[in-house]
Amino acid sequence: MSPTLYYFNGQGRGELIRLILTFANVKFDDQRVKSIKETQGLSEKLAFGQLPFYEDNDVRISQSYAIARYVAKQHGLAGSTDLESALIDGVADSLWDILSPYFSSRDNPEKLQKFKDETIQKFVSKLEELLIKNGGQHFVGKQYTWGDIAIYFGFEYLKKLGFGEQIKGYPTLEAFALKFSQIPQIAEYLKNRPETQF
């Protein structure tokens, strides 16, 4: 039986998990639900009453980063030592250093302008430096990890949110994102991924 990921029909907090599973060539049931209440038998499974939710036989996990870390570890994408795992987690966790300020400022024009003018550049420039420091191909080590996948998602999600202009001018990151998007299973997923509002 294939694992199942329950999330809404959007990228949000579910897309990173989808990308990790896709990169690892895991066949999974991508359940894009309209609402928790309308999905039979789902609400009683949710530890915190929220999505995403991951189910694989007897394994049931809530919370997006708990799921992402679990899946990454299951498929060798979380580092081979405790230190490497911690460094990868640090890269992945930085994703929400950029997305959280956006979500907290999007309804406040003054804060949103600061996000566009300052926060994005600060975040992306630091990522560009880190990527160059590690050789330009990966953020930690010499092979793809879930930290790389998290940053790819964040970089592309900023474009989806309308900040494409603000993340131009970072050639190492741009090349990194392009190369990742051309991995066969990722390219196939992106080609068939539904257009969503978020």
pLDDT, tens digit, 9 for 90 and up, residues 143-153 = 999 999 999 99
Among all chains, which residue has been given the structure tokens 């966790």? 93
What's the pLDDT band for 41 if we cut at 50, 70, 90? confident
Residues 112-136, mean pLDDT to the nearest whole number? 96
Within the chain, all domains assigned CATH 1.20.1050.10 are found at 82-183
Q: Can you give the pLDDT at residue 75? A: 98
Residues 112-124, mean pLDDT to the nearest whole number? 94
**pTM for this model (two decimals):** 0.96
- List the one residue out of 174, 166, 151 whose CA is nearest residue 119: 166
Within the chain, all domains assigned CATH 3.40.30.10 are found at 4-75+185-192
Average predicted confidence (pLDDT) for the chain:
96
Q: Can you give the pLDDT at residue 54? A: 98
Residues 54, 9: Cα–Cα separation, whole Å:
15
What's the pLDDT band for 87 if we cut at 50, 70, 90? very high
Q: Can you give the pLDDT at residue 39? A: 83
- List the one residue out of 2, 38, 7 whose CA is nearest residue 194: 7
Cβ distance 32 to 53 under 8 Å? no
Residues 8, 188: Cα–Cα separation, whole Å:
21
> Does the structure show a pLDDT above 90 at 38?
no
- List the one residue out of 153, 180, 137 whose CA is nearest residue 96: 153
**Which CATH superfamily does the domain covering 4-75+185-192 fall into?**
Glutaredoxin (3.40.30.10)
> Does the structure show a pLDDT above 90 at 132?
yes
> Does the structure show a pLDDT above 90 at 24?
yes
Architecture of domain 82-183: Up-down Bundle (1.20)
Among all chains, which residue has been given the structure tokens 């928790």? 36
> Does the structure show a pLDDT above 90 at 37?
no
What's the pLDDT band for 1 if we cut at 50, 70, 90? confident
| H runs (alpha helix) in 94-198 | 95-105, 109-114, 120-133, 146-160, 171-181, 184-192
> Does the structure show a pLDDT above 90 at 40?
no
What's the pLDDT band for 56 if we cut at 50, 70, 90? very high
